[in-house]
Structure 1
Amino acid sequence: MSIPVPRPGLVIRYGFLWSSESDRGLMEGRKDRPCAIVVAAPRDERGHVRTIVAPITHSPPADSFASLEIPAAICRALELDEGRHWVRLDELNRFVWPGYDLRPRADGRYEYGMLPRGLFEQIKRGILEVQQKRKGRIVGRDE
């Protein structure tokens, strides 16, 4: 399968590196997970795209301000596995698309699908609020 064009709202499979893992000197995340692209901006004239993703996790949030639950119907439409899912708003990875950590799913596709516009707007607002309060971490993956 081909690598998709990165666009905000697209959910991809990605080897996400948590800030706590980065702080311990790790270069690779422990596992691949769905992540929502929140920024996909042209970086230079060669067509490189600066990409920022937010992880999707089963772990209930310790701080409800830092996460947003994805409704079950949207999880089913994206073909996410069973259980509840949250988008973390305080943990982000930044990389140049497609980077080294984009991973194929079992069916060979790299993407799960698009988030509905309303949910994506909530995620975007939440990330901005977290960043303004300086409570978010962005891990650069190709620096």
Structure 2
Amino acid sequence: MGNDQPVTGLVVRYHYLWAREQERGEETGRKARPACVVVPLGTRPGAVVLFPVTTQPPTAGRLAIEIPETERRRLSLRGDGPNWIILDEANGDVMPGSYHLEPVSRLPMELAYGRLSQAFMRVVLRTVATALRNRSMRIVAREP
């Protein structure tokens, strides 16, 4: 079993395609960034939703959660300051085998930084559930 198996909370390096980039006709994420595999979907084997991780503070009106410092250090996420998971948009893809995955640079043969804790993921999943109920989330399909 590879370390890119779709499990809730896995953080991978992924060429995330922002919704605004897709609206402009782009098909590939501009750069690889950490992305959290939050929800393996039951629609087909390996179907997942990935949420972007960023060091940029979320703009007003965005739905985001700051990653606790202990989680950030444990996963060796980049940046000296905080990281956020943006939760009002996501990429839908299939793992393992996505063309948009990239090895984690600090471990060239590894495809994941690790997993976020179950306690933190409960907070993330509650927030995602609220966004889905409010229809305030956009999912960009990335399947090949």
The TM-score with structure 1 as length reference comes to 0.89
* 1:61 has 2:62 as partner: no
3-state SS, counterpart of residue 11 of structure 1: strand
TM-superposed CA distance for 1:135, in Å, is 1.6
SS of alignment partner, residue 75 of structure 1: helix
| Aligned residues of 2:9 and 2:36 also touching (Cα < 8 A) | yes
What percent identity do the matched residue pairs reach?
Answer: 35
Q: CA deviation at 1:65?
A: 6.0
- Equivalence map 1:4-23=2 (5 Å): 4-23=4-23
Q: Which one is further off, 10-19 or 100-109?
A: 100-109
* Secondary structure of 1:93's aligned partner: strand
* C-alpha distance in structure 1 between counterparts of 2:134 and 2:30, whole Å: 28
Letter in 1 for 2:37: I
Q: Which amino acid aligns with 2:12?
A: I
Which residue does 1:139 correspond to in 2?
Answer: 140
What's the offset of the Cα at 1:5? 1.6
1:102-141 mapped onto 2 (5 Å cutoff): 102-106=101-105, 107-108=107-108, 109-141=110-142
In the alignment, the residues of structure 2 paired with residue 136 and residue 31 of structure 1 have an alpha-carbon distance, to the nearest angstrom, of 22
Please give the alpha-carbon distance, in whole angstroms, between the structure 1 residues aligned to 2:73 and 2:61.
Answer: 23
Aligned residues: 139
Any unmatched runs of 5+ in structure 1? none
**Equivalent position SS for 2:78:** coil
Structure 1 residue 49 corresponds to structure 2 residue 50: no
Output the amino acid matched with 1:95.
Answer: D
The alignment partner of 1:119 has SS state of helix
Which segments of structure 1 move beyond 6 Å, counting only runs of 4 or more?
A: none
